Amino acid sequence: MNDRNANPAQARGTPDSTQETVIETDSLTRKFKKIKAVDNLDLRISHNELFGLVGPDGAGKTTLLRLLAGLLKITSGSAHVAGHDLTERPEAVKPKIGYMAQQFSLYAQLTVMENLNFFADLYAVTLEERKERTERLLSFAGLTPYTERRAEHLSGGMKKKLALACTLIHDPPILLLDEPTTGVDPVSRREFWSILTDLHVRGRTIVVSTPYMDEADRCTRVGLMYEGRMIRCAPPDEIRSQVRGELIELIAEHWQAARAAVGELPGVLQVQTYGTTLHLIVDNAAERLPEVEAHLEEERIAYSRLRPTQLRMEEAFLSLVDQREQERWE
Ligand SMILES: Nc1ncnc2c1ncn2[C@@H]1O[C@H](COP(=O)(O)OP(=O)(O)O)[C@@H](O)[C@H]1O
Ligand SMILES: [Mg+2]
């Protein structure tokens, strides 16, 4: 973890074509009986990208990560990771990658230190390397005071950080992390991401799947998976700009009535509900705002907020998935 990489293109979030490709798939396909969990996927990930994988449940994120980790057999197509051809000897890639499964299991009865040692044994980390590395990882993960605590007695956030430390014990250049922060409280999520950012700055290539759109926003590039395919693959701001339409936020006293009233107005492409807040995706916010306002008044629907606002990844993602579903029925 010492090759600091301060590439300005990476900092801006643009994939850097001068960087070497470390993950490359061509028509990668994995079937489970009739289901194509990963369907003809072409993907290039460069050295030192922080690549976010998002998509609804069942989109194929876990299957893709397991294929890249050399843990699943490829049905057809090919994948190369860190120069290894995964169609030939998938297990040969293991020293190069740190894979953290969605249900990563620590040994509950073992202490923090014993867990780290267990994984160090598994990866045949030498004793000299082990001492320096465990110290660094423990401090990195904020677990130094807890080395003697059993894993079962750690908080959810600490468990995830220990799991990450175990994943890093053999110092892999490529990390494949499957929803590492799912179910973790927001503060621990932020801490976990500050560790990821640090690893990124230190030159690691990271592929991380996440259901949280704020996390996707922190990646250099985001791949939106849907039914085994990558429907978009771009830096977060580009993904937001690809969405047809602009956003108007509406908070009304009776949101159900408001939703019904505005849903059919001309120029309203979609209405998304967040608790009691409505997000109207419209073709042109400046033009539609006065029309929405007039209509709400006409219908006597009281509201406390009506304003144009920035599209977040969340709306962009839902809108792109929605577009894809509509295209399928057209
Ligand atoms: N071991 C398996 N056996 C059969 N079907 C599977 C298996 N693993 C995944 N699938 C199916 O493949 C599809 C993709 O699943 P998965 O990769 O877990 O998606 P995600 O991680 O995006 O939720 C789903 O339809 C799922 O049911
Ligand atoms: Mg999954």
CATH (domain of 165):
3.40.50.300
Residue 222 shares a structural domain with residue 255 = no
Neighbours of ion ligand 2 (CB under 5 A): 61-62
Round to whole Å and give the CA distance between 153 and 222. Answer: 35
Sign of CA dihedral 67, 69, 71, 73: positive
* pLDDT, average across residues 238-255: 88
Q: Is 171 left (phi over 0), alpha (psi -120 to 50) or beta?
A: left
28 & 103 share domain: yes
Indicate whether residue 165 lines ligand 1 (CB < 6 A).
no
Same domain, 74 and 133: yes
Residues 204 and 253 in one domain: no
Pocket of ligand 1, candidates 35, 75, 209, 224: which has the most ligand atoms within 8 Å of its Cβ, to mutate?
35
Q: Is residue 322 part of a domain?
A: no
Ligand 1 test: best mutation among 31, 57, 63, 75, most atoms within 8 Å of CB? 63
- 297 with 215, same domain? no
Ligand 1 pocket test: which of 29, 32, 41, 227 has the largest number of ligand atoms within 8 Å of its C-beta?
32
**Same-domain check for residues 235 and 253:** no
- Residue 52, beta-bridge partner list: 208, 222
Q: Are residues 28 and 155 in the same domain?
A: yes
Domain check: are 57 and 121 in the same one?
A: yes
Q: Are residues 165 and 267 in the same domain?
A: no
Q: What's the 61 CA to ligand 2 centre distance in angstroms?
A: 5
Environment class of residue 148 by beta-carbon count within 10 Å: exposed (0-12), middle (13-18) or buried (19+)?
Answer: exposed
Does residue 13's CB lie within 6 angstroms of at least one atom of ligand 1? Answer: no
Q: Any idea what the Cα angle at residue 40 is, between residues 34 and 43, rounded to 5°? A: 140
The verdict on residue 222 lying in a domain is yes
Q: How confident is the model at residue 5 (pLDDT cuts 50, 70, 90)?
A: very low
CB of residue 180 inside a 6 A radius of ligand 1: no
Residue 14 confidence (pLDDT): 47
Residue nearest to atom 6 of ligand 1 (CA): 32
Q: Which atom of ligand 1 is nearest to the CA of 59?
A: 22
pLDDT category at 18 given cuts 50, 70, 90 is low
Which pLDDT score, from 0 to 100, does residue 282 have?
Answer: 93
Kindly report the protein residue whose alpha carbon is nearest to atom 26 of ligand 1.
58
State how far Cα 142 lies from the chain centre: 23
State the Rg of the chain over Cα: 23
As a whole number of Å, the end-to-end CA separation of the chain is 50
**Considering the domain boundaries, does residue 50 fall inside one?**
yes
pLDDT at 328: 75
Query: Is residue 59 lining ligand 1, measured as CB closer than 6 Å?
Result: yes
Distance CA 29, CA 305 (A): 47
Tens of pLDDT, residues 186-224: 888 999 999 999 999 999 999 999 988 889 999 999 999
CATH number at residue 283: 3.30.70.100
Q: Would you say residue 12 lies in a domain?
A: yes
- State which residues form the domain around 69: 8-240
Which segments of the chain are extended strands (E)?
21-32, 35-46, 50-54, 76-81, 84-85, 97-100, 174-178, 205-209, 221-226, 229-234, 246-252, 268-274, 277-282, 303-309
Phi, psi of 252 (to 5 degrees): -120, 160
Q: What percent of the chain has pLDDT over 90?
A: 74
The residue whose CA has the least distance to atom 12 of ligand 1 is 37
Residue 78 CA, chain-centre distance (Å), reads 23
Q: What average pLDDT does the structure give for the chain?
A: 90
- Residue 82: φ, ψ to 5°: 50, 40
Q: Is 169 found in the same domain as 56?
A: yes
7 close to 20: Cβ distance less than 8 angstroms: no
Q: Which atom of ligand 1 is nearest to the CA of 225?
A: 22
Per-residue tokens: 175 = 């990390």
Closest atom of ligand 1 to 56 CA is 22
Q: CA triplet 80, 83, 84: central angle to 5 degrees?
A: 60
Give the count of domains, the chain. 2
**Cβ of 29 below 6 Å from ligand 1:** no
Same domain, 296 and 232: no
Q: Where are the beta strands (DSSP E) in 82-179?
A: 84-85, 97-100, 174-178
Give domain status of residue 302, yes or no: yes
**Residue at 319 is within a domain:** no
Is 32's C-beta closer than 6 angstroms to any atom of ligand 1? yes
Closest-CA residue, ligand 1 atom 24, reads 58
Closest to 86 in 3D by CA, of 63, 101, 69: 69
- 62 C-alpha vs ligand 2 centroid, how far in Å? 4
β-strands 205-209, 50-54 pairing: parallel
Whether the predicted pLDDT of 3 surpasses 70: no
Ligand 1 closest atom vs CA 55: 22
Give the pLDDT band of residue 171 (cuts 50, 70, 90).
very high
Ligand 1, from 62, 73, 102: best to mutate by most atoms within 8 Å of Cβ?
A: 62
297 and 188 in a common domain: no
Q: What is the pLDDT of residue 69?
A: 97
